[in-house]
Amino acid sequence: MGFFTLTPFETEALLLSLKVSLWAVFVSLVPGIATAWVLARKNFLGKSFFDSFIHLPLVLPPVVTGYFLLVLLGRKGVIGGFIFKLTGISFAFNWKGAALASAVMAFPLFVRAVRLSLEAVDSRLENAAKTLGAGKIHIFLTITLPLIVPGILTGMILAFARSLSEFGATITFVSNIPGETRTLPLALYTMTQMPDGESGAMRLCVISVVTAFFALMAADFLSQRLSKMIKGD
């Protein structure tokens, strides 16, 4: 088998990683923009605490985050047990849990990118629209949102890249189940635990690097196109 031909094991891990990462970005999109807007535009009691809480996954060991997710959202967890009884949906030990774990770990990066973009928007534009009678939602959708699209895209890139590399929270929350939760990092870990798995581990390393590289290249291309569209070039 040639080096550029993926084995079923590698294909399965790659496709699952892409699926998990895309869903992690998708579920972070609306909550992330809303959270960034609150942090950028509102002053309230406990804002520093809220900000620190949002960024906690960046400084906590990923295993700790995964354990908290298991305690809270496991089938017998405080919240997960209620959700399972109500809807029959379980997050632990399946790909949905892997996407959730990746989203939690990537969420602070997405929020930070969007927040910085929001803080760079000239508030005089929004105030001018307000004096002309535009409502808050209309101002956000027609003025603020188009201006922060590059920041949103940057946040999506960071979240996607972080999700691709997520390991600790994922393996703690959803374990390492073939075809269900074994993403590229977990597949690589599996190879390192197998006798004579060095060549397989190296192939997975290359696949991970190439996937991340092309994702960043595609995102950079889209970012440049969006910037030109916003500037009217």
Residue type, 227: S
Question: Could you give the number of structural domains in the chain?
Answer: 1
Domain of residue 47 covers: 8-118+133-231
The position carrying tokens 């089938």 is 75
**Is the distance from CB of 111 to CB of 31 less than 8 angstroms?**
no
Reading the block at residue 94, the tokens are 């399946």
What distances in angstroms separate CA 95 from CA 20, 50, 75, 139, 215, one per listed residue?
Answer: 7, 29, 14, 38, 21
Q: pLDDT band for 126, please (50, 70, 90 cuts).
A: confident
Whether residue 152 lies inside any domain: the answer is yes
Output the average pLDDT for the chain.
Answer: 88
Separation of alpha carbons 159 and 101, rounded Å: 12
How does DSSP classify residue 142? I
Q: Does pLDDT of 1 surpass 50? A: no
Q: pLDDT band for 35, please (50, 70, 90 cuts).
A: very high
Reference 117, options 41, 58, 57; nearest CA is 41
Whether residue 126 lies inside any domain: the answer is no
pLDDT of residue 4: 65
> In CATH, what number is assigned to the domain containing residue 155?
1.10.3720.10
Calculate the CA 148 to chain-centre distance.
18
Whether residue 166 lies inside any domain: the answer is yes
Q: Does pLDDT of 170 surpass 50? A: yes
Whether residue 97 lies inside any domain: the answer is yes
Whether residue 3 lies inside any domain: the answer is no
**Is the C-alpha dihedral spanning 120, 125, 131, 134 positive or negative?**
negative
Range 134-147 average pLDDT? 85
Range 75-98 average pLDDT? 88
Query: What confidence tens digit (pLDDT) does each residue in 181-191 have?
Result: 999 999 999 99
Query: What confidence tens digit (pLDDT) does each residue in 203-215 have?
Result: 999 998 888 888 7
pLDDT of residue 233: 59
pLDDT of residue 124: 82
Query: What confidence tens digit (pLDDT) does each residue in 3-19 have?
Result: 568 888 899 999 999 99
Whether residue 127 lies inside any domain: the answer is no
Whether residue 168 lies inside any domain: the answer is yes
